[in-house]
Structure 1
Amino acid sequence: MDVSVVIVGAGPAGLALAGELRLAGVGVVVLERLAAPTGESRGLGLTIRTMETFDQRGLLPRFGDPETSPQGHFGGIPLDFGVLDGAHRAAKAVPQSLTEGVLESWARGLGADLRRGHAFLGFEEDADGVLVRAEGPNGPLELTARYLVGADGGRSAVRKAAGFDFPGTEATTELLLADVRGVEVPARGIGELVPGGMVMSAPLGDGVHRLIVGERGTPPRRRTAPPRFEEVADTYKRLTGHDIAHGRPVWVSAFTDAARLVTEYRRGRVLLTGDAAHIHLPAGGQGMNTGIQDSVNLGWKLAAVLRGRAPAALLDTYHSERHAVGRRLLANTQAQSLLILGGAEVGPLREVLGELVAYEEVARHLAAKVSGVEIRYDVGAGTHPLLGARLPALPLTVAGRSTGSAALLHRGRGVLLDLDDNPWLRRRAAPWSDRVDVVTAAPEAPVPHDSAAVLLRPDGYVAWAAPGSHDDLPTALDRWFGPPRD
């Protein structure tokens, strides 16, 4: 094989996967159709779960000091995310271009081979691997690999070539987006209705305003190129009466409310991640953030299989875990679509929901849903409250040094966290020491649910905990990290 994995697409999902695979020592080539980054920022901001994910890889300092806020929304209805516990808040003004830059630097620094200007053409699969065909600056290219991953967006060529089913609902409306300089417009929140449609405007800094306009009753167009700024300006003027034609567009785009989810995230040696697997109305940047988390879930599993440490069946949990997340993603974004794009007939629903979010339990439920912190996986039998969830950030003393639970995951390995100085536990885990770090630590704060020990997967989710797991520790280690060494 030329390489273990070929990834098509160098957006956030593809670059996150490349970094995860290289962290585990797996060879990867990323093929990107565009010759250079566009600088566009469709996604804007990082959810709480993505902030946690970047923290566990030591990437947050690379973002500088982004502004965080407990304020959010659900379908344009203000929502206080401060009701959620945790060490992080959502970062509100992180452009996708910065996220891509951080992930590219990380992946390249780990040795990922990123080839820009290479368009995916097709592939052939056999029992041993895939033959990937592409067209590059120097002509046709063929690469053999063990696995192919499509991270090439909502119009994924990999998804189409592999024949994945992509059911869902057709677009009913189109929205236009433009980042513009040289205009002064009043700030308008998501879901703020005007006669005839919806308008959103927000300052992004450096003299740039983001504008989103949607005219009710305007059917979506089949576009082969981005809309012209004149189209955005004309729509904005019809909806608000304000002329912005003198503005200087940074970039312009269009999107719809189409909602689709593949029926399977894996077909043989081909897998999908990010928008290649799910599309929906952008609402709170969930698409980009979910795609990054798809890749973090997939990366360590694919690496374990490729390195012979786990059976190929481990990849089945990528579909079972992330497809369920995708279904919930489409449900909440479609609900928000009704609230954002609906007309006067949706007014009573907005009013009632606005009353409900005043109740902390309702606010907590919705905030957890759109921020990703409600995710819990089926990791086995047991009654411990942390099973399948993430371990909340926990300050620790390890070998006389203060650290935190997130820092233990920087290397992308499993971690058995012994909080009770239990030599029996450490002996039981010793046969997996080539892939699981056994760390004895003294907690510097109360331990959630009085846990004596937790087994963390490389993606930060709890696979076993004591007391309360019915499965014994070796069973959990074997399930998630493969059989022990001889």
Structure 2
Amino acid sequence: MITDVAVVGAGPNGLMLAGELALAGLRPIVLERLPVPDDQPKANGMLGQVVRMMDQRGLHERLGGGPESPVPNSAYFMFGGLPVDLSVLDESPLHVLPVPQPRIVEVLEDRARELGVEIRRGHELIGLTQDDDGVALDLSGPDGAYRLRARYVVGADGAHSATRKLSGIGFPGVSYDRTTTRMAHVQLPEEWLDTATGALRVPGHGAVRPFLPHRTERGGFSYAPLPGHPPTIATTEWDQPEPAQPMSLGELRESAFRVLGVDIPFTPPEGDGPHLLRRLLGGNTRVAERFRDRRVFLIGDAAHVFAAGGSGLNLGLQDAVNLAWKLAAEIRGEAPSGLLDTYDVERRRAAGRMITHADAQQALISPGTEVTALRELFTDLLADRDAVRRVAELIAGTDVRYDMGVPGAHPAVGRFAPELELRVGDDIVRLAELTRTARPLLVDLTEDGSVAAAWSGLTDRVDIVTGSAMTGGPTALLLRPDCYVAWASDAASPDTAELAALDTAMRRWFGVLEPVSA
């Protein structure tokens, strides 16, 4: 027996992919080396466009957000430890959802199991062989070695990906060996916590805003008070000798003193663990030579790693959603020629932008008087609203626009779905509520309903919704299952040329040849 897709890795990216495949009617198998979920809070939450993506799939509330549309951060953020004043923007693109990674895994695993996904924990990939019809995986499980055959394999198994290595895919890039990062859950003096702003007021130094990197000439410091967990503090220093002893709270306290110049008298965290206590030496910025090798694909850290606080999940989870619908279409025999190849093209570009983000931040937080001068200049630039907008879009990942193959297309084409409210029958709904099925979606808000009428026989391949707009935006648009716009119009009644462009988009992305008359 051959399974459709084997997903190697049960972290957030692998579980997201498995859930998306299940929504598309497949039954993937998830293979995870660890016997139980990792309880280390590697990420403190979701940052950027991925927050809206969670809303598009009905997961925002389950992850701790509200049932309404996610509200962007319109106050402030940081880029390379420099303040970015988002209040100067008419509309901020930057969303933040504080939630520890173990909770993300829990929610995505629950969702995958609800959709019928099989998850095998304690099953390690040790061999992989491809042929024209599928992939043979050699695995070591609790009951011994066995072989599993799949049509396709997706490596979501992290920076040290066995899938990538066994497929012979190179992982070129740069390793940084100058930094030492220390982090831990701690108990802080209650009188230091500013309940009005959320900041940590450090006597003799000043306020440190939550969740944002704080740079001094001697290193970096951050403070993250995640709800329901002890606060996390972290330091980064350059050119420190490698410690001979295991990481300790005392080591972190000494590091914080060197970075800030004052003592922080924290104590061990209260309550049951697990509690974070971690030291990281160096870091990497690397991108796989290719994200696809015939029937093997890579997503998340298996495809790319970089140091840009909070943005890794933004990239990896969108890898998963981008790949899933294309892979499902191929397996169902509905994919147009070349559809699977667009995964590497689109997500490689997104990874490139994120590396620009990471490298720029790395440069801005480094020690040295020349870096301080650069920061002063960059601070001047961030007084300009257009500069703030561009930096905010880079952080959020909203500056990526896919090439949909339509020259001179509507400005929304190639970008993530706009936030729209529409009246459908007697109900007022958000566009995000119409994308929960992960199917292609044609939305017709024109006066005469001509767009929907032209394609009314395509409900087997594309969902069609008609209504009227409650907010501004396109009058008609075609969304891919990953919620990127493939076609759009502002016309009250699109003309022949626009409808022909819609036909082209249908064929390009969904293999639709012609409408089927009722």
TM-score normalised by the chain length of structure 1: 0.91
- Deviation at 1:430? 3.9
Indicate the residue corresponding to 2:494 in structure 1. none
- Superposed CA deviations along residues 106-135 of structure 1, whole A, max 9, x for unmatched, are 111111111111122121110000011221
Q: Which residue of 1 aligns with 2:431?
A: 405
Q: d(CA) in 2 for partners of 1:112 and 1:421?
A: 42
Per-residue Cα deviation, 1:25-60 (whole angstroms, up to 9, x for no partner): 111111111111222222222224112101111111
Q: Which amino acid aligns with 2:381?
A: L
Matched letter for residue 50 of structure 2: T
Alignment partner, residue 476 of structure 1: 505
Which one of the candidate residues 262, 275, 296 is aligned to 2:321? 296
Aligned partner of 1:8 in structure 2 is 8
> Does the CA contact (< 8 Å) of 2:469 and 2:475 recur in 1?
no
Cα distance in 1 for residues equivalent to 2:104 and 2:72: 15
Correspondence 1:460 to 2:465: no
Paired residue for 2:306?
280
Residue of structure 1 in register with 2:98 after alignment: 93
SS at match of 1:472: helix
Residues 72-118 of structure 1 deviation map (CA, whole Å, 9 limit, x = unaligned): 11111111334556698522522122222211111111111111111
In terms of mean alpha carbon deviation, does 312-321 or 465-474 score higher?
465-474
Does structure 2 retain, via aligned residues, the 8 Å contact 1:383–1:470?
no
Whether the aligned pair in 1 keeps the contact of 2:421 and 2:429 (CA below 8 Å) is yes
AA aligned opposite 2:294: G
Contact 2:308 2:361 in 1 (8 A): no
Q: 8 Å contact 2:41–2:276 — kept in the other structure?
A: no
Q: SS of the counterpart of 1:328?
A: helix
Name the SS of the counterpart of 2:340 in structure 1: helix
C-alpha distance in 2 between matches for 1:389 and 1:160: 33
- The reply on whether 1:113 has 2:122 as its aligned counterpart is no
Q: What is the distance in 2 between the residues matched to 1:172 and 1:188?
A: 27
Which SS does the other structure have where 2:345 is aligned? helix
Q: Closer, same or farther in 2 for the Cα pair 1:82/1:44, shift >3 Å?
A: farther
Kept in 2: contact 1:178–1:252 (CA 8 A): yes
Q: Which amino acid is 2:252 matched to?
A: V
Q: Does the CA contact (< 8 Å) of 2:99 and 2:226 recur in 1?
A: no
Residue in 2 that maps onto 1:29: 29
Deviation at 1:331, TM superposition (A): 0.9
Name which of structure 1's ranges 411-420 and 182-191 shifts more when overlaid on structure 2.
Answer: 182-191
Match of 1:235 in 2: 255
CA contact (8 A) 2:445 2:469 kept: yes
Q: What residue in structure 1 maps to residue 215 of structure 2? A: 193
Matched, 1:175 2:180: yes
CA distance, structure 2, for counterparts of residue 317 and residue 438 of structure 1: 24
| Counterpart residue number, 1:441 | 467
- Determine if the alignment matches structure 1 residue 264 to structure 2 residue 290: yes
CA deviation map 1:154-198 (0-9, x unaligned): 111111111112111111323323232334474635443345432
Does the Cα contact within 8 Å between 1:14 and 1:151 map onto a contact in 2? yes
Which has the larger displacement, 100-109 or 194-203? 194-203
Contact 2:156 2:300 (8 Å CA) reproduced? yes
| Alpha-carbon distance change, 375 to 195 in structure 1, aligned in 2, over 3 angstroms | closer
Structure 1, residues 142-161: CA drift from partner, whole Å, max 9, x if none?
21111111111111111111
Query: For the Cα contact (< 8 Å) 2:186–2:267, is it kept in 1?
Result: no
* Cα offsets for 1:243-297 (capped at 9, x unmatched): 76853581233253321111211110110111111111132x1011210111111
In 1, are the aligned partners of 2:184 and 2:276 still within 8 Å (CA)?
yes
**5+ residue gaps, structure 2:** 193-201, 492-496
Separation in structure 1 between the aligned mates of residue 29 and residue 253 of structure 2, nearest angstrom: 41
Q: Distance in 1 between matches of 2:231 and 2:106?
A: 22
Report which stretch shifted further, 35-44 or 150-159: 35-44
Residues 359-383 of structure 1: CA distance to partner in whole angstroms, max 9, x if unpaired? 1100000001111122211112233
Identity within the alignment, %: 38
Confirm whether residue 148 of structure 1 aligns to residue 153 of structure 2: yes
- One-letter identity of the residue aligned with 2:342: T
With the length of structure 2 as denominator, give the TM-score of the two structures.
0.86
Instruction: Establish whether residue 329 from structure 1 lines up as the match of residue 350 from structure 2.
Output: no
| 1:396 to 1:245, Cα distance in 2 relative to 1, 3 A | closer
Higher helix proportion, which one?
1
Decide whether the 8 Å contact of 1:220 with 1:256 is kept in 2.
no
Specify the alignment match of 2:195 in structure 1: none
- Look up the match of 1:216: 238
Equivalent residue for 2:169, pick from 161, 164, 185: 164
Note if 1:392 corresponds to 2:418.
yes
When the two structures are aligned, how many residues end up with a matched partner? 480
How far off its partner does 1:419 sit?
1.1
Deviation per residue, 1:208-228 (Å, 9 max, x gap): 22122222213779x9x9845
CA distance in 2, matches of 1:79, 1:420: 39
Question: What is residue 103 of structure 1 aligned with on the other side?
Answer: 108
CA apart distance, 1:305: 0.8
2:227 aligned with 1:202: no
SS at match of 1:60: coil
Report the counterpart of residue 393 of structure 2 in structure 1: 368
Q: Is the 8 A contact 2:93 2:398 kept in 1?
A: no
- Cα distance in 2 for residues equivalent to 1:118 and 1:85: 50
Three-state SS of the structure 2 residue aligned to 1:378 is coil
Match of 2:340 among 315, 319, 326: 315
- The answer to whether the Cα contact below 8 Å between 1:181 and 1:207 also exists between their aligned partners in 2 is no
Unaligned runs of 5+ in 1: none
In 2: Cα distance, 1:34 partner to 1:146 partner: 24
Structure 1 window deviating more from structure 2 (87-96 vs 342-351): it is 87-96
User: Does the Cα contact within 8 Å between 1:26 and 1:303 map onto a contact in 2?
Assistant: yes
CA RMSD of aligned residues (A): 2.7
